[in-house]
Every structure is written in C-alpha cells, then in structure tokens.
A and B are shown apart, each in its own frame.
Chain A
C-alpha cells in the first residue's frame, strides 16, 4: 500500500514538473507565428497580412508570463487546448483527436508485435546459442537495430510500392473504398508497409535485450537444478527462464508504449500516414504553440502513465518487489 501511494505521489510530482517545462518550451523558440505564416506563402501574401494575422492569431498578448501560466493550468484542467495556428481555425483537441487513432493503431500495433516477436526470437537465440540459428540471429538483430527507420521506409516504399506495385504509395485508406468492410480492409492494406517498416526496425532491439537477459538467467543455479530434476526444455524456458528474463524488458516496453503517442514522425512522413507525428512536425515548423503544447502534454502524460502502470505491474510480476516492500 505504501508502495502504491509512493508511486502515485511520484507520478503527480513528475507530471507537474513536466507540464511546467511543457509550458515554457515553445516560448524559447525564435520568431513569432504570424510572420512564419506569411513567410510560408513565400510572397503570395501581402506583407501587411502580418498585421492582419497578428490580430487574428492574438500574438503579442499583454499578459505576464505568470498570468499566462495560471491560465494554462486552468485550460488544461478544463480540457481546452486552444485553437491551432497551423490548422487555423480548427480547435487543437479536434486536430489531435483525429490524428491519435491512426498513430495508436499503427505505432501501437507495431510496437506490441515487435516486442512479442522480438522477445520470442531473443528466447530462441539464447536457448540455441552456439548453433547457427542462435548465433546467426545476433548480427541480424544488430543490423536491423542500426538501420535508419526512414531509409528503410523509403526503400520498402520504392521496392514494394513503386517497382512491384504491391502496396499503396501513400495515405491511410483509399478514398474510393466504401465505408464498412471495404474501408477496414483498405485501412489494413495501407497500414501494412509502414507497420512492417516499424516492426522490422524495432525488432532488433528486443531480440538483443531478451537474448542477453536469458543468457544471464540460464547461467543461474536453479536452471541447472531444473534440468537435473528432469523438467522438459519447454517448461524450463517458458515457466522459469523467460518469465524472469522478461522483467527488465518490460519496463522498456512500457516506455516504448508511452512514446507511441508521439508517433513515428519519419515513418508517417515517408508514407504520408495521417498520424500525430506529422502533425507535430507541422506544429514545430509553423510555431503553432497551442498544438505543440498539447502534443507534448499528451506524450509526457502517456509516458508517465505507462511508466506508472509498468511499476504497478512489476509488483505483480516480481514477488521479490512485494516482499521487499513488506519487509522494510
């Protein structure tokens, strides 16, 4: 119980610090949004439009920084994130609301599948170390891990989308697909290449982590004891070794899930996938303070919450944590 309270308190404190930093960050960037908007159109807008847009965007507000900070907290608690400047005049909550499902779907699925497959391959690699399969997986995993995501994305897009024409070159779904089953299929079809790219580039990390954890556990005495006792290989691997090996990975996995909300910006750009990543890029380029703040807010909160739940789950997964706390 004390452990739980302690974690909750820590969560709230970290959240407060993160949100304060979140508030301050956009103001540290140079330039003001109205000039950026005018410049974006490269001379097509009249320069007096800066004045007009400044009025429209409410830039140059006459409040002190502290007043703005208080207003910021008021708005956060009410759920009002303001009006986006890059997607003017759409409210930020709507902009994010439409992008998040795509990102969660694509990146969330890819991350979970990468963790499952990667850890599975890591287990195989560790158990069969010394054989060709086990040791061959190591350089392969390292190669996949160090491959730049966007480069791999461009490659798959070019080969499978352009040369072979097996998959679409862009988008979340086809406009010509009828709503319903056809639309769902279209979505799956369009998400295959970006999802595959994310999966493959994330795989390597999990393989190596799992393999290393497994190898250190397999050297433990109780594994030798289990062998001696006559337990089957399958039982040893899955009931004892893997279950212990996965604990350190789990924290990393929780963090990775938290970061899913930030979207894979490069992947989304290469495949023109309508997610949060590209939205965030637009926000930064256009100095869209409201959208930037809201995006950072969600990312921060998501990571904090994911971490919090990982800590909680750790209590259930690892009895040593429970007993340590009870003992002290």
Chain B
C-alpha cells in the first residue's frame, strides 16, 4: 500500500474506533441509568369497595375512597406483614431506649404537604395526640397499650414515651396515617368530617370521584421520593360483581384487582401466562374455633381428637384448589415458620390421624354406643354440635361439610349453622356457638400479633353471654399471659422466641383452636401494559387490596413496559 493510503486507512480506523467506543459508553450509561424506565401511563385498577366521598385518614381504609391510605396519606414506616421488612416513608430511622420505655423516631426532611406547607415532626406528634383527644379514632388501640406521651422534641424527632414496655405496639404506631396539623387542628368533629379535599404527603392527589363508579388520582409533582411515581394517573373503577371483575381482567381491560378467583392458576393465569399473574401470599389462617366454655368441648382430649380427625389437605385441595395450603397446628404463618417454630415443637405437633384420634378418646375415658355414636364422659349421648359459618360463604360451608363428614366417622354428630353477618359475629363474641369457622382475629409480622388477639385475657370472657372481643375460644392460660407480657417488654429476639415457644407449646398441648388452611391475599394483575407488580419473586408488599397501605408500594413501583 502507498503511504497516503495507509495513512487514510489509519485515520478511518481511528475514527471508527472512537465512534465505536463512544457508542459503547453510551450503551453502558443507558444500562445503568434510570433512562430505561418509561414514565407516564394510566394504571387501571378494579375495586369492589364502594365508599362515600370520604378521604379521612383517621377512618379505616374501607370507609374511605380507595386512594386515601394507599396514595394520599402516608405513615412513618411500611411494615410488610408477610416478611416483616420495614420500608422507610415519613420516618427515616428509629431507636428504642434500653428499658424499651422510649421510642425515638427521626422524620424525613424536605417533605411538603400537597398544599405547599412543610411537613415536620410536629405533624406526627399532633396526629397521635389528636387521636388521644378523640378516642373514636383510635382504631388500633394505640393509647390503650401503655403509651403515655408523644412529643416532637425538634423539627425532625418524635419521642414516644411508655409507662409499660410494649414493643409490638411499634407496628401499629408506625402504620398510623399522619395528618397535617395546620388543617386538622381546626376541625372539631373528625369522626364525621369527610375531608373532601385531602391534603397529604403521598405520591398521588385526588382528582375526581363519582359515587359507586370511579375514583381518579393524579401524580403528585412535588412528591418527596426522587423520580417517583413513574405513572401519571390511577383510575379505580368500582365493580361489584366477581364475575364481571374476572372477565375484565381476562380481557386485559384492567391492570390490577384484588379478587378471589376459584382455581386462579387455571381460571386466570393459564388464560395468557405471558401476562396474567397472581400473587397470593399468606397473611392469616382459617381456623375452627372450639368453645372451651361448653361441656365436652372443655375436655382437652376431645379437642385433640377432633383436631386429629380433620382432613385439612382435602380442604386445601377441594375448597381452595391447592391455592391455600394446610395451616400449621400452631397457627404460625408459613413465611414465619422458619424463624419462629423451634424444632422440638414440630415433634409435639399433630396431623391427620383418625385412628390416633380414636385412641386419644379411648385413653381419656370416652366410649361409644352400639351405633358407633360417641358417648360423653358421663356415658350420656353427646349433643349435635353446631358448626357456625357465615351465610352463603361457600368456602367456609365447604370446609364445614368436610369437618362434618370427618367427625361423623368418629361418632360425633354435627350440623352446619349459617348466620348472616350480625348473627355470625354475635355468636362468636357472645360464646353461644359450639364450633365455628373463622379467620384469625390477629395478624402481623410475627406470631405475637396472632396469639395476642387469640389468647389474651382482656379479649376473653368466661360466662356465655359475656363478650369475648377476639379470644372466641375463651381459652386463657397463665403461662401464655406471662409469655405475652415478656414478649411485649423486650426487643431482644431471643427472649421473644422463647415467649413464642411457650405459647405455641400450650396451643399444641391444649388445642383451643384448630388452624385449618392458610388465608392468602388475592392480588391478580396483568403485565400487558405495566410491569413492576409485587410477586412471589419480588414480594415487596403483602398482595393486599388497592386501598390498603401496602398498595402504596405497588403504585410507586409499577411503570410502563
């Protein structure tokens, strides 16, 4: 080659190399930057929770427009009930004092309310003191649990002072929606105030609403989290009928819903597995409550035998198509078993064993008559036990039918008693039921919350007719009460684990209630337009409905495909 030509070639080569390097570096930048997340879009959500035009952060989620607790108002931390993980929202850090009598929380800087006013620790202190002033707003019993004082020591620090330690109260404290002092201080009757123009710190603002039809929320341009939310708007459509909801999801007319679909994997996901998905994490159990205040049901052996005679696997498969598994006899959730269920307890547990059930009854002194009917300890025929369920609740009725059949084989006669809401809850709380199928009355990131509600003396009663607020079985045990108190008083995991161990052991030995199946949340979604939903692979929330606090995580994470 001539000299000039090779020079030209070299020039071309070097220019080419520079170009290639430039392009490669741009690609690298793109790969690591946020550029690839598309912004904008309108998320379409279906909800069957019809509410009035109320956006009152002091009322429960179900009494407000769907975005009140999940889009407009925020809390200090989001505690994921399934995993126990804490996400920092309006609070950035917290610390318990040595004696667990003081909780110091640092609040976030640079947050503004949607009307422009600055957010500060004073709003947090105000919110809690406001609840103290108006007890009708204290839906989580915050002020009954040993809390004495809440004050803002400076613009970014809130101190909660306790008269008696109660570390589990933390979950309820940090989950309380925070309201702006400059607006609510002027409102005299917060219980009936509908707050139609809500001012919050959250990622969205209420835009429009139509009774029984829609609620629409638009992106908050001044939201404190950098770059979020990705989407422009959320339209929530109220659809009452389950079938209509399912059809809309199948046609991809909506992106997200909270819906119990029978056999969801086959009915919904299989329809279009590339985009249809379901995320059903377990947050509670379905249990068979036994009224330990009634004759025969007060015998441990009888309860144990009943527990061993029930085929829970059949329930899981026939009623829930395997979408909800068998519950652990301690009542501890599957996601919490690893951490909280000690190995020695597993050995004390029981499983489906009808022959073993017979043996337990025989050893305790029960006998059968010539027709195979079980006789009481006094030799008398047992009464027909009624299994209480809600009227028309096909899953509970199905479970009751399986129980009925299982107990028939043991010689115990039962009948199914369907009651409407008022009669059902009344029967449970007044202790007029024999056996009843119901969900767990408490749930949270650790088994404490479940055991607290199910076994604490203040929620129980002894006489039939007296109200048991949540310990429907009316079973209490001094060891359990002491263990609950020791759990409350500490933030040391070892002590807490020991307390749970004690309680779980009492539950296994005394069988005050029989956990039947898991109770999952029912989030269903499609990824044809938006991605970033919570899933089993990415469980950043508990798969809750679109009006619950956990849904805020979803609204912040989803973005256009």
Contacts and interface: CB of A to CB of B under 8 A. Distances in A.
B417 to A, nearest CB: 13
Nearest to B247: A162
B191 interface: yes
B104 to A, nearest CB: 25
Interface string A245-280: 000000000000000000000000111101000110
Interface of B: 50-54, 56, 59-63, 135-141, 144, 191-194, 210-214, 216, 235, 237-241, 243-244, 247-248, 250-251, 253, 284, 420-426, 429, 439-443, 453, 459, 469-470
A323 to B, nearest CB: 51
Contacts of A43: 284, 439-443, 453
A279 B212 CA distance: 9
B117 to A, nearest CB: 25
Contacts of A90: 52-54, 194
A170 B241 contact: yes
A201 B526 CA distance: 36
Interface stretch (A16-24, A47-55, A124-132, A136-144): A47-55
- Tell me which of B62, B238, B421 has the highest count of chain A C-beta atoms within 10 A of its own C-beta: B421
Contacts of A169: 239, 244, 247-248, 251, 253
A148 interface: no
B244 A170 contact: yes
A282 B423 contact: no
B52 A95 contact: yes
Interface of A: 29-32, 35-36, 38-50, 52-53, 55-56, 83-84, 87-90, 95, 98-99, 154, 157-158, 161-162, 165, 169-173, 175-176, 269-272, 274, 278-279, 282, 285-287
Given A52-B135, A272-B240, 13 more contacts: A35-B422, A35-B429, A39-B425, A41-B62, A42-B439, A45-B60, A45-B139, A46-B139, A47-B453, A49-B140, A89-B193, A161-B247, A175-B216
Contacts of B470: 47
Given A31-B422, A87-B52, A175-B237, A48 B138 contact: yes
Given A169-B247, A274-B212, A278-B240, A35 B193 contact: no
Contacts of B244: 157, 169-170, 270-272
Nearest to A157: B244
A48 B141 contact: yes
27 contacts: A29-B422, A30-B426, A32-B422, A41-B60, A42-B439, A43-B441, A46-B141, A47-B453, A48-B141, A52-B136, A55-B191, A88-B52, A88-B54, A89-B191, A89-B193, A90-B52, A90-B194, A99-B212, A162-B251, A169-B239, A171-B213, A172-B212, A175-B210, A175-B213, A271-B244, A282-B50, A285-B421
A175 B422 contact: no
Contacts of B250: 162
Nearest to A89: B192
A270 B241 contact: yes
B553 to A, nearest CB: 17
A48 B143 CA distance: 11
Contacts of B141: 46, 48-49
A48 B247 contact: no
Contacts of A39: 421, 424-425
- Tell me which of B54, B60, B61, B216 has the highest count of chain A C-beta atoms within 10 A of its own C-beta: B60
A29 B421 CA distance: 11
Contacts of A271: 241, 244
Contacts of A48: 138-139, 141, 144, 469
Nearest to A154: B243
Contacts of B52: 84, 87-90, 95
Contacts of A279: 212
Contacts of A165: 251
Contact of A31 (B136, B241, B426): B426
Contact of A35 (B253, B425, B442): B425
Contacts of B240: 269, 272, 278
A163 to B, nearest CB: 9
A162 B241 CA distance: 14
Nearest to A40: B62
A35 B468 CA distance: 12
Given A43-B441, A161-B247, A31 B211 contact: no
Contact of B237 (A98, A154, A170): A170
A272 B426 CA distance: 31
B212 A31 contact: no
A53 B140 CA distance: 12
Contacts of B60: 41, 44-45, 49
A42 to B, nearest CB: 5
B184 to A, nearest CB: 15
Nearest to B390: A39
Nearest to B59: A88
Contacts of A270: 241, 243-244
A41 B425 CA distance: 12
A99 B61 CA distance: 23
- Tell me which of B138, B211, B284, B426 has the highest count of chain A C-beta atoms within 10 A of its own C-beta: B211
B196 to A, nearest CB: 10
Contacts of A29: 422
B211 A98 contact: yes
Given A55-B136, A169-B247, A169-B248, A36 B422 contact: yes
- Tell me which of B56, B139, B250, B424 has the highest count of chain A C-beta atoms within 10 A of its own C-beta: B139
B215 to A, nearest CB: 9
B284 A272 contact: no
A47 B458 CA distance: 11
A230 to B, nearest CB: 58
A285 B48 CA distance: 15
Contacts of B216: 175
A42 B243 CA distance: 22
